[in-house]
Amino acid sequence: LQTASCALTSRSPDAVVLGALFHDIGHLIAPCAPQMAGLGVVNHEHIGAALLRDFGCSKQLADLVKYHVEAKRYLCFKKPNYFERLSEASRKTLQWQGGPMTAQEASEFEKLEAFRHILSVRAWDEKAKDPHAQVPPLGHYRPILLRHLNRDNRRQGFTDV
């Protein structure tokens, strides 16, 4: 909820707000999937993205969920001090998630249409660690999700999402 609240505060498009809200949904919907040594579900980002697509969400929204782990890998490659700022759990899961990207992986990642938005979701996720934060409740996002699902999801790009 804190990650989604950050997206709301930044006046992000609906798909980005929802991507921030749902980025870790794969941990919640697949509790019996292989685990990362008690640190969550292996490939939760792909599990979550597939669920969202199955429910009719746009590719843009699903991609934000799908690539938020890749954003961590990218930032660990691109910014040498980024790893030190990660939570202990996030540092440990990085090894399960492939470690920092290679230069080639980073170059390909930078070409993604949603690159800027993916990095935003990652930044908000890192900020969203305050157990006393006051944020809108889950129900606040229902109209945003309904609006998103009612849109013509065949549109491409984030310019009008």
Mean pLDDT of the chain, nearest integer: 91
Distance between CA atoms of 53 and 72, rounded to whole angstroms? 23
Which residues of the chain are under the pLDDT cut of 70?
Answer: 152-161
User: Would the pTM of this model clear 0.85, i.e. be above it?
Assistant: yes
CA angle 141-21-54, nearest 5°? 90
Distance between CA atoms of 113 and 58, rounded to whole angstroms? 14
pLDDT at 152: 52
pLDDT at 109: 98
Local structure of 35: helix, strand or coil: strand
CA angle 134-136-137, nearest 5°? 110
The b-or-e profile of 89-121 (16+ CB within 10 A means b, else e) is ebebbbebbeebbeeeebeebeebebeebbbbb
- Please answer whether residues 62 and 52 qualify as being in contact, where contact means their C-beta atoms are separated by less than 8 angstroms: yes
pLDDT at 80: 82
Local structure of 160: helix, strand or coil: coil
Q: What is the pLDDT of residues 53-98, one digit of tens each?
A: 999 999 999 999 999 999 999 999 999 899 999 888 889 999 889 9
pLDDT at 55: 94
Distance between CA atoms of 149 and 6, rounded to whole angstroms? 22
